[in-house]
Amino acid sequence: MWLTRAVFRCFKCFERTADRVTGAVGPLFIGIAVVLIGIGIFSFFDIIAPTLRWPIITTPICALIALNTLANYYWAITVPPGFADDDFRLSGYKRSAPVGRWERWTTAPVRVQGHGSDFIRGHELEPARTGRCQKCGSIKPERTHHCRICKRCVLKYDHHCPVRINQCVGIGNERHFILFMAYLIVCCGFLLVLGLPPAWEVIGMPYHWPHRTPQVMFLLIYIVAIALGIAVSAMLSWHLYLIGRGQTSVENHDFSQYKKVAASRGQTFVNSYDLGIRRNFALFFNLTPTGHPWWVLLTPFRTKPYTNGHAWARRHGFESGHGGIREEEELTDDEED
């Protein structure tokens, strides 16, 4: 028994050390990402963009894609994920903080109440059940989880992302995290397809290279774009699947356990947050009758969530919770210790 406890404590010590190291090197990862993205964009407009037909049309489109990539990365990094111990409001800041001019200029417009597509009409928000976190002591609405790296509870916690954004992905910045990955894939695709001829030219080691981007640098960026395109595409596909099912990464793990518990009683687990693929995506990006119009996804504006994390839209008939599982059977962060 003592040996088992010793091994467990060693693993816990290693885990805490890894968390501290991850948090410390996070800004370095962000710096590397910014440099790579910047070099890729510069290379594209230096080498590829001048060769495209109809530059009056293609150049603005490419510039908008590049701007959206950088803007969504900036928002994913700087917008708080939404902490349970803050007085979180829909803008992502504390309610006591004044709305500044920068926030007004950079936040996407919203529809007038009563207009817009009929995506979630009939699904009223139900107040979230609350508890208290045994790790930080804050009040935890449902779908809130404690991040062991940030050491705070995050509303609609998905995961902590130290490599790309150096903070948690939560209700405040999850839309920009997804849009950043989507636009990054588009950038990689454009670079790989349209940059194939100059890449082959670089491999042939031409004597004359009339571009400001060094040949070796362009070839390295091309190779990085291949790796990033594959890796980010896989991650984006997984997250789009989760969005369509109305769940987060943590909830996907928990729900798999709930299905087993419900099946052991001859019941079927029902996710009360799953309103169907169309409505799930509409809620995630806040494309609701009182939210943002669809075209804001094509702009670099900052977007707001449809809720402040203390109330959620639920399926009809499951307003009080998930089906097939009892409230006391739901997993908590405390069970990880």
Query: Which of 25-39, 113-127, 180-194, 322-336 is most confident?
Result: 180-194
> According to the model, what pLDDT value does residue 324 have?
87
> According to the model, what pLDDT value does residue 94 have?
40
| Pairing assessment for the beta strands 139-141 and 130-132 based on DSSP bridges | antiparallel
> How is the chain split into domains, by residue range?
2-336
Is pLDDT at 18 greater than 70 in this prediction? no
Beta bridge partners of 146: 153
Q: How far apart are CA 33 and CA 77, in angstroms?
A: 12
What letters, b where the CB count within 10 A reaches 16 and e where it falls short, cover 81-115? bbbbebebbbbbbeeeeeeeeeeeeebbebeeeee
Which residue from 72, 59, 35, 47 is spatially nearest to 191, judged by alpha carbons?
47
Q: What is the pLDDT of residues 41-75, one digit of tens each?
A: 999 999 999 999 999 999 999 999 999 999 999 99
Which residue from 17, 189, 157 is spatially nearest to 80, judged by alpha carbons?
157
Q: What is the pLDDT of residues 293-317, one digit of tens each?
A: 999 999 999 999 999 899 999 998 8
User: Can you tell me the mean pLDDT for 203-230?
Assistant: 90
> According to the model, what pLDDT value does residue 328 have?
77
Q: CB under 8 Å to 184, separation ≥6 — which residues?
A: 37, 69, 73, 228, 232
Catalytic residue, candidates 161, 168, 187, 188: 161
- Residue 205: band (very low, low, confident or very high) from pLDDT cuts 50, 70, 90: confident
Q: How far apart are CA 199 and CA 63, in angstroms?
A: 21
Over the chain, what is the mean pLDDT?
84
Q: What is the pLDDT of residues 232-286, one digit of tens each?
A: 999 999 999 999 999 999 999 999 999 999 999 899 999 999 999 999 999 999 9
Measured in whole angstroms, the distance separating CA 184 from the mean position of its chain's CA atoms is 13
> According to the model, what pLDDT value does residue 8 have?
43
Residue 161 designated active-site:
yes
Q: What is the pLDDT of residues 100-129, one digit of tens each?
A: 555 666 677 776 554 434 445 556 788 888
The CA distances from residue 112 to 109, 117, 292, in Å, are 10, 12, 9
Segments in the chain forming alpha helices (H)? 2-43, 55-78, 101-106, 174-194, 196-203, 215-245, 249-264, 277-284
- Phi first, then psi: what are they for 243, rounded to 5°? -60, -45
Is pLDDT at 190 greater than 60 in this prediction? yes
Q: At 167, is the secondary structure helix, strand, or coil?
A: strand
> Could you tell me the two tokens for 70?
């950088």
Residue type for 183, please? Y
State the DSSP H helix or E strand holding residue 305, giving kind and residue range, or none if neither.
none
Q: What percent of the chain has pLDDT over 90?
A: 58
- Residue 206: band (very low, low, confident or very high) from pLDDT cuts 50, 70, 90: confident
Q: How far apart are CA 213 and CA 209, in angstroms?
A: 9
